[in-house]
Chains A and B, each alone.
Chain A
Amino acid sequence: MSFDPAITLFSCHYTSQQSCAEGGKELEQLGFPAGIDLVRVPCTGKLQVTTLLKAFEDGADGVYVVGCPEDGCHNVKGSARAAKRVAAVRDALEELGVEGERVQMYHLPRGLHPEFVAKGKEMDSRIRGLGPSPF
């Protein structure tokens, strides 16, 4: 079944700062999927499990977090904490009989690297493959 997934991305301020230049136009030009709603946070370590679950409650088909490299987080352990919470949400989704792959964590370097766009496309493709959220 073909559909346009709604995906929520929570991205570290530092990782995404270049991505938001010129109101995100550059991202758009690079083919960043239009269905991804980018939410910037000061540090992904601030994200709570409830924040990620709320995105699903609000209708997201997939949710992912982009934070600093594990060994180079601006706030030392912020992205490592985020990865733990993403893992907790994945476990909870699976407990509810929902594909855990609907939530992902990526560690990327600062700035607008090709990986930022590539991971967006990867997430978009993954969720298209899974289909609409069962929630």
Chain B
Amino acid sequence: MIVAERKPMGEIIEMVQDCKKILVLACRGCVTVCSAGGEREAEILSSLIRLGMKKAGKSIEVATASLVRQCDREYIDEIDQFKDDGYDAIVSTACGVGVNFISNLRKDTMVYPALNTTFFGGSAKQGEWTEQCAGCGDCVLHLTGGLCPVARCAKSLMNGPCGGSVDGTCEIHSDVECVWQSIHDRLGSFDKSAQMEVIAPIRDWSSSGHGGPRKVVREDLTV
């Protein structure tokens, strides 16, 4: 899922300081699963905005609603149900994709981000999320025992480990595993240690966004 965290309240209050009426719009997709921008978090944020504005001596009307997702046109179209309500702005608790999609598709709607979108990750432990994928566009997981060196190696090395790997941990922090150590161990457990001897060629990073914004077109799905 896409993992995100709420922005500091000071930053959000600053965004809406001149607004009289806003809509805090939750997303029931990834940010609900990572407890950053679902309906519950949107209700909390609405309350905090009201309190923050009141403390600043300003009044604001804050309503809360949610969309199934904010990354598809069909769901963004549902925003139109609010167009006669007179909102000065939408504060979106979706990831950055949602904020962009509202901006792209609703030219007259001001939208502010309530979250900092962080990474593609998973939760192996309640309340904790870790980065697992960098969305680089050229997956090498079949060569690395299913563990991603792009997202999980601090240096995104293709031929690791580096000299900073100590007892299975990364030199950047003692609680970060050295993914190359894990790759080595895992390949060994499948009797594929020889894969570690294969030198990965210099990588073409153009698929990872270094070649500009990416796009996927599926002709079989376009109408």
Interface residues of A (CB under 8 A from B): 48-50, 53-54, 56-57, 92, 95-98, 134-135
With A96-B52, A98-B55, A134-B55 as known contacts, state yes or no: A57 contacts B47, CB within 8 Å. yes
Residues of B within 8 A of A95 (CB): 8-10, 48
A31–chain B nearest beta-carbon distance, Å: 31
Interface residues on B, range: 10 to 19
Q: Which residue of B lies closest to A97 (CB)?
A: B55
Residues of A within 8 A of B43 (CB): 50
Taken together as a complex, chains A and B put the C-alpha atoms of A56 and B50 apart, in Å, by 10
Q: Are A53 and B47 in contact (CB under 8 A)?
A: yes
Residues of A within 8 A of B47 (CB): 50, 53-54, 57
Residues of B within 8 A of A53 (CB): 44, 47-48, 51
Interface residues of B (CB under 8 A from A): 8-10, 13, 40, 43-44, 47-48, 50-52, 54-55
Q: Which residue of A lies closest to B41 (CB)?
A: A49
Q: Which residue of B lies closest to A92 (CB)?
A: B48
Residues of A within 8 A of B52 (CB): 96
Q: Are B55 and A135 in contact (CB under 8 A)?
A: yes
Taken together as a complex, chains A and B put the C-alpha atoms of A27 and B8 apart, in Å, by 41
Q: List 12 A-B contacts (CB under 8 A).
A: A50-B40, A50-B43, A53-B51, A54-B47, A57-B47, A57-B50, A92-B9, A96-B13, A96-B48, A96-B55, A135-B51, A135-B54
Q: Which residue of B lies closest to A94 (CB)?
A: B9
